[in-house]
Amino acid sequence: MIAKAKEKAHAALRWSERYTKTDMIYLAGGQFWAIIGQVVSSVTVFIFAIIVARYLPKDVYGEYKYIIGVVALLSSFSLTGLSTAVFQSAASGFDGSLHEGFWQNIKWSVLVFLGAFGLAAYYFTQGDHILAYGVLIGGTLSPLLASANLIAAFLNAKKDFRRTALYIGVIETLLSSGALIITIFLAPNPLTLATVYFLGNTLATLWIYRRIAAIYQPDHVKTDPGMMTYAKHLSAMGILSTIAANIDQVLLFHFVGPVQLAIYNFATAIPDQTKGPLNMFNTMTQAKFVDRTDKEVRTGMRNKIFWLALSSTLFVALYILLAPYFFAIFFPKYMEAVFYSQIYAISILTVIFTPAASYLIAKKKVREQYVNNIAVSLFQIGSMVIGVIGWGLLGLVIARIATRFFGSSLVYLLYARTSNT
């Protein structure tokens, strides 16, 4: 009975390939584990959000998010592109890229530590010891956390989506979120929360790194001579994009305050949860694109875009309709976030050009990635600054939506341009 059901499912997936122009057996297998990991991760994050909304004051949560945002902002001056480079190298058989990437990231994170030390010194002079210690602790641990996180890129390169879901999606999420939930009840202050966040994530990810390295036992000698060059290119072009991705927390905190920052994070949280399965889809397509010719990739591109457009449109319409009821039931203290969340959900429509972005990365179109990252980052930083100063929280939300539409359109134009060169 089970065997026949599997055969029918297999046949149905093969039949659907004539319309999707995608290896549906491969996608379904990877997506199964992605769904498992995403469900556990989403449920855990959801429970954490409910506890935050009910038991943590908005100003405390806003200050905690600010510390996380500042440390993430400082990380823009490290090898942020190393994860993609390790993925590319490991997918090509250079397993030593994992070990090399770990220590290279530590080496190139000196600016993160120096920046955190300098910023902490500034906050000490201002008498704000919470922010001072929070930034110093985060800046010290984040390079180690980023190095250990390379294990996720390695697993995805090996198409080991089962272990990615189990270790990254389930174990890491449960350990880090569980520690934060306990902290909310025992010591609900920004510094303690930030310390537990960085320390808990670092310890959990280091354990996962050692565990997976013991299973695969990658040959340290098999390194990719071009990996670091590619990583530096990606990191250079990623400086602005990393700043753009984290400057919203800093802008809101300074211009509007921690309470509005807390509302903003709840407004964007659920729509941003779509990034989980989308990132897995993106990773899976990249892994496939690496091994395929340009002609093979382009053959199924329009079909992928069509199905993403259809599914994202349905999801956005459903979310806008249900958001008020959802917040009223689970986050009643954050009802003012509903309007902003409904507007922000429109940005989900920009996922339609994700396969085009995967193509640019998989085929190492460095020049096109430079153009895209620089243009989109400048647009986002400029629009966010103008939006926050001019219209506060609403201005920031609109700026993020505009940036996503601008970025997705530019990605597709760059992808289309490569077909003519």
**324 or 92, higher pLDDT:** 324
Angstrom CA distances, 94 to 79, 89, 293, stand at 19, 5, 20
Mean of pLDDT values over 167-189: 93
CA angle, 127 then 393 then 242, to 5°: 70
Alpha carbon distance 95, 82 (integer Å): 14
- Residue 2: the pLDDT is 45
Q: Give the residue-averaged pLDDT of 108-118.
A: 94
What b-and-e string marks burial along 369-407, b requiring 16 or more CB atoms within 10 Å of the CB?
A: bebbbeebbebbbebbbebbeeebbebbbbbbbbbbebb
**Domain count within the chain:** 1
By CB atoms closer than 10 A (0-12, 13-18, 19+), residue 178 is middle
The Cβ of residue 241 has, within 10 Å, a number of other Cβ atoms equal to: 23
Q: What would the pLDDT profile of 317-351 be if each residue is shown by its tens digit?
A: 999 999 999 999 999 999 999 999 999 999 999 98
Count of other CB atoms within 10 angstroms of residue 2: 6
Q: Is 238 within 8 Å of 81 (Cβ atoms)?
A: yes
Q: The tokens 């997506």 sit on which residue?
A: 31
Separation of alpha carbons 52 and 55, rounded Å? 5
Does residue 191 contact residue 130 with C-beta atoms inside 8 Å?
A: yes
**DSSP 8-class letter at 345:** G
Contact 158, 216 (CB under 8 A): yes
In 187-300, alpha helices (H): 190-216, 227-255, 258-272, 275-291, 294-299
Rounded to an integer, the average pLDDT of 134-144 is 97
φ/ψ bin of 365: left (φ > 0), alpha (ψ from -120 to 50), beta (otherwise): beta
| pLDDT, position 30 | 47
d(CA 134, CA 120): 8
Q: How would residue 41 be classed by pLDDT, with cut points 50, 70 and 90?
A: confident
pLDDT for the residue 420: 57
CB-neighbour burial class of residue 6 (10 A; exposed 0-12, middle 13-18, buried 19+) = exposed
250-279 pLDDT, tens digit each: 999 999 999 999 999 999 998 988 765 555
Mean pLDDT of 400-407: 96
pLDDT at 122 over 60: yes
Q: Could you tell me which residue, 170 or 363, shows the higher pLDDT?
A: 170
Residues with Cβ within 8 Å of 304's Cβ and at least 6 positions away in sequence, in order, are 20, 21, 22, 285, 355
The reported pTM is: 0.83
Q: What is the mean pLDDT of the chain?
A: 87
Q: Could you list the residue range(s) of the whole structural domain that residue 68 is in? A: 2-418
Please check whether residue 64 is in contact with residue 265, taking contact to mean a CB–CB distance below 8 angstroms.
Answer: no
Highest mean pLDDT: which of 59-73, 360-374, 404-418? 59-73
Listed residue (47, 55, 70) closest to 198, CA to CA: 70
